[in-house]
Amino acid sequence: MVTEHTSSSPAQVLVASNRGPITYTLGEDGTLDARRGGGGLVSGLSAVDDKLWVCAALGDGDREAVRRGVGEPGVRMLDIDPEVHADAYNGIANSVLWFVHHLLYQTPVEPVFDAEFRRQWASYETYNRAFAEALAQEAAEGAAVLVQDYHLALAPGMLRALRPDLRIGHFSHTPWAPVDYFRLLPDDIAEQLLHGILGADRAAFLTRRWADAFIGCCTEILGGTGRTRIGVHGLGADADFLRRRSHEADVDERMAALREQVGEDRKTIVRVDRTELSKNIVRGLHAYRTLLETRPEWRERVVHIAFAYPSRQDLAVYRDYTAAVQSLATEINGAYGTESWTPVVLHVKDDFARSLAAYRLADVALVNPIRDGMNLVAKEVPVVSDHGCALVLSREAGAYEELGEDAIVVNPYDVTGTAEALHEALTMSGDERSGRTKRLAEAATALPPQQWFLDQLEALRQE
């Protein structure tokens, strides 16, 4: 069931996403505390004043806010049944679609598409339909609707059936699977997903590679993309915000604390990730261990600052991965650490100010995902780096298309090669590092979030 919270007048620009710009926490005394979120989408949408953001109520606080009629102008939160949302979000979006697009399955034993999958798929359909119905209700005649990501792949087609007058766009923030891997999905489900996105006038992606993969799937499975136009918009870093925020007092405090942990005259290899399976944190730690083993001259002279912020801990496979990261960091410190040197400084509690402090301190940034739609960390570090930073970058990150020329590029599965890349990055001359950092920052900020969103909106209106 969806609880209605309708705005006073039809909207000309609408955005739909699982997570909205605000989260409510329910206090023990019954009070609701509102907290605004961040990220590229929130930043991008600030470019448009007259808009409506349709999102899901994600927790008890959000659902209570909807039931009380609490909200803020420009946001409509949908109170979808918690069990339906759990099936759609954890069961399908994060445990199936994310795994397909990031090529994460261990195919000898998974996936298994059985009756339980079909039951969860029905919830995914219900979840998407709730969004389509809310958007249809709220949109003005001929309005522009931008649907976000793999959580809502069916919504464009459902919305098209309800409101053929609308201009509908869909944006994928993840990679798109190559056709042979996409066909792991049951045939009818694969067709339904493609038809869902092709309900949009325009389907857009972060890189040409992901767009071409989508076109390949449509061509192979459906015979083409029909009337839907395909676009590419590579989300960039918000340079003004990052540079301002990274020099505030709390960041300076955390820099001082990190410097103390690292010690004097030591180089730093920095990574900042969620403990998401696709981020490849464990192989990154193995590569660092290989560096210490094969290049003993770096012992006592380098520290790996690894921020691995827990993600999706309601799924067992993610809890196990987080535990594996912590275990390996402890193992490395036990094998190589000395009284005055801790080889790995690991933090698992999310702290944005500390992340910015690490960006500023980094001599080397390690970004080695198995597969990533874009990866904004790769773009953010060069923007805020104090003294220049060498970027070790996986060729499987979307950011590789824009940053590959000035990064040290690695195969994310090659631990030995990544260890050599870390050595190359650590020994890079100051002039070369400075020049590369400048070019990386320019490329990283070419399409800042507000322009990224406005470009999509303009392209959709011109279709």
Q: Cα dihedral angle (179, 182, 187, 190), rounded to 10 degrees?
A: -100
Q: Name the residue among 98, 178, 163, 103 with its Cα closest to residue 131.
A: 163
Instruction: Give phi and psi for 233, each to the nearest 5.
Output: -140, 105
Q: Name the residue among 116, 145, 119 with its Cα closest to residue 131.
A: 145
Q: How far apart are CA 76 and CA 413, in angstroms?
A: 43
pLDDT tens per residue across all 463 residues of the chain: 333 334 568 989 999 999 998 889 888 888 888 887 766 667 766 667 778 999 999 988 999 999 998 888 899 999 999 999 999 999 999 999 999 999 999 999 999 999 999 999 999 999 999 999 999 999 999 999 999 999 999 999 999 999 999 999 999 999 999 999 999 999 999 999 999 999 999 999 999 999 999 999 999 999 999 999 999 999 999 999 999 999 999 999 999 999 999 998 899 999 999 888 899 999 999 999 999 999 999 999 999 999 988 777 777 787 888 889 999 999 999 999 999 999 999 988 888 999 999 999 999 999 999 999 999 999 999 999 999 999 999 999 999 999 999 999 999 999 999 999 999 999 999 999 999 999 999 999 999 999 999 999 999 998 6
Handedness of CA 172, 174, 175, 179 (dihedral sign): negative
- At 354, list the tokens: 């500390």
Strand order in the sheet with 302-309: 344-347, 302-309, 267-274, 364-367, 390-394, 408-410
Q: How far apart are CA 288 and CA 295, in angstroms?
A: 10
Q: How far apart are CA 239 and CA 169, in angstroms?
A: 26
- The residues near 178 (Cβ < 8 Å, ≥ 6 apart) are 213, 216, 217
DSSP secondary structure, 25-62, as one string: EE-TTS-EEEEE--SHHHHHHTT-SS-EEEEE--SHHH
Q: Name the residue among 168, 177, 166 with its Cα closest to residue 147.
A: 168
Question: What is the 3 state secondary structure string of 148-216?
Answer: ECHHHCCHHHHHHHHCCCCEEEEEECCCCCCHHHHCCCCHHHHHHHHHHHCCCCEEEECCHHHHHHHHH
Q: Name the residue among 354, 357, 404 with its Cα closest to residue 378.
A: 404
**What pTM was computed for the model?**
0.93
